[in-house]
Amino acid sequence: MAESDNFNTTAGWVLFSGIVALGLSAVSSGYFGADKVHAPKEEAAEGGDGGKPAVAIETLLASADMAKGEATFKKCASCHTVNQGGANGIGPNLYGVLGEAVAAGRGGFAFSDALKGKGGKWDFTTLNAWLTNPKAFAPGTKMSFAGLPDAAERANLMAWLNTQGSNLPLPAAPAAGAEGAAAAVAVVGDAAAGEKSFAKCKSCHTITPGGANGIGPNLAGIAGDSVAEGRGGFAFSDALKSKGGKWDDASLDAWLTNPKAYAPGTKMSFAGIADAQERANVIAYLKTAK
Ligand code: HEC
Ligand code: HEC
C-alpha cells in the first residue's frame, strides 16, 4: 500500500466513523480497530465481478438504484422479512438492521455462535463484507447464501435496505482524485506470506511443476493460464469451464474471494479468503510458481 492511499483510507475512516457516531448512540471503537481488513482498502482490490475496475462501495452507494435494490431483495425474501414487526423465518426479520448490533435482538432469533462472535454493528462496510461472502465473513454461519459478487448489486441492495427502518447517512464517497489513486494502487501482495497462506490450499492442490492432481488440479503456472483447461486432464466442473478466459489478478481475486459466487456449481469446496491483503499475497505466491 502506498503512503498516500493509507492516508486516504485513514481520512476516510475518520470521516466515516464520525458520520456513523453522529447517527448512532455509540460505535464500538474496538470493532473498527479489530476489523481493519474491511476498511476501504479492501474495495480497492475487490474485483468481485471478475475484471471490472473496482469502484469504492461509497461511490456506488451514492448513485445506488433503489428499484434495483428492492428487486435484489427477492433473493433474500425466501428467508427474511423486512417490514416493521415482520416475523422471523429461516433468517431474522431485517427491519432497521443497518446501525443495529450484529446478531443481537431480532425478536430472539437463534443466531449462530459464528455470527454472534463477530460483535460490532451493521454498517455499510460490515454489511458489504457479509453480503459479498457470508461464509468467509463468519465461518460457520447458518445463512446458506452464496453471496452477491457484484459490488453494484450490493450497493443498490444496501441503499434500499437502509430505507427500511434505518436511514443511516450514506458514507461520503471518496473525492474523484482520491478514488483514482485508490483504484490505481492495488493491494501489493507478499509472496512469502502467500506461501504460508497456501497451507489452506494444500489439502487439495499441489503447486510444484508436474505435481499430481488431487481433489483439485495442480496449480503450477496457473497465473496467466486458461481457466479450467489442461492441468493433466483434470475433470473440471461445467460451472468453472463455462467461465472461459484466463486467470489474471482480477479473476483470481474474485475467485478466491468467493469461489461459489464466482462460479456457482463449482466443485471447489472452499469458503474463500475474506481479507484482500491475504488474497493479494496468495496471488503473488501463485505467480512465483511457474
Ligand atoms: C437461505 C436463507 C437465507 C437467505 C437466502 C438469506 N439469508 Fe440472511 N440470514 C439467514 C440466516 C439463517 C441468518 C442468521 C445467520 C447466523 O446466525 O449465522 C441470516 C442473517 C442475516 C443478517 C444478520 C442479521 C442480524 O441481525 O445480525 C443479515 C443482515 C442478512 N441475513 C441479510 C441478508 C440479505 C440482504 C440477503 C439477500 C441478499 C440474505 N440475508 C439472504 C438466512 C438467509
Ligand atoms: C477442498 C479442496 C480445495 C481447497 C481447500 C482449495 N481448492 Fe482450489 N480447486 C479445488 C477444486 C475441486 C477445483 C476445481 C473446481 C471446478 O472444477 O469447479 C479447484 C480449482 C482451483 C483453481 C482453478 C484452476 C484452473 O485450472 O482453472 C484455482 C486457481 C484454485 N483452485 C486455487 C486455490 C487456492 C489458491 C486455494 C487456497 C487459498 C484453493 N484453491 C483451495 C479444490 C480446492
pLDDT tens string 238-287: 999 999 899 999 899 999 989 988 898 999 999 999 888 899 999 999 99
> Cβ(200) to ligand 2 under 6 A?
yes
Residue in 290, 284, 272 with CA at minimum distance from that of residue 134? 272
- Centre of ligand 2 to C-alpha 250, Å, is 16
173 pLDDT higher than 80: no
Ligand 1 atom at minimal distance to the Cα of residue 104: 26
From atom 39 of ligand 1, which residue's Cα is the shortest distance away? 76
Ligand nearest to the CA of 156: 1
Cα(180)–Cα(200) distance, integer angstroms: 33
Grid coordinates of 290:
511457474
CB-based contacts of 10, cutoff 8 Å, min separation 6? none
The C-alpha torsion from 74 through 76 and 82 to 86, rounded to 10°, is 110
Given a cut of 70, whether residue 133 has pLDDT beyond it is yes
**Within 10 A of 81 (CB to CB), how many other CB atoms are there?**
17
- Going from the Cα of 113 to the center of ligand 1, the distance in angstroms, rounded, reads 14
Question: Among 26-40, 67-81, 137-151, which is the least confidently predicted range?
Answer: 26-40
pLDDT band (50, 70, 90) for residue 103: very high
Given this model, what pLDDT does residue 289 score?
86
Percent residues over pLDDT 90 in the chain: 66
| 136 CB within 6 A, ligand 2 | no
CB of 54 within 6 A of ligand 2: the answer is no
Please give the number of the atom of ligand 2 that sits closest to the Cα of 282: 35
Contacts for 272 with CB less than 8 Å, ≥ 6 apart: 133, 135, 136, 256, 257, 258, 259, 260
Give me the mean pLDDT over the 120-139 stretch: 94
The pLDDT value recorded for residue 186 is 55
Is residue 33 packed enough to be buried (19+ CB in 10 Å), middle (13-18) or exposed (0-12)?
exposed
Show the CA angle centred on residue 156, arms to residues 155 and 157, nearest 5°: 90
Ligand 1, atom 17: nearest CA belongs to which residue? 111
What pLDDT is attached to residue 42? 40
Q: State the average pLDDT over residues 49-58.
A: 64
Which pLDDT band, with edges at 50, 70 and 90, does 179 fall under? Answer: very low
Q: All 3 cell numbers of residue 79? A: 428467508
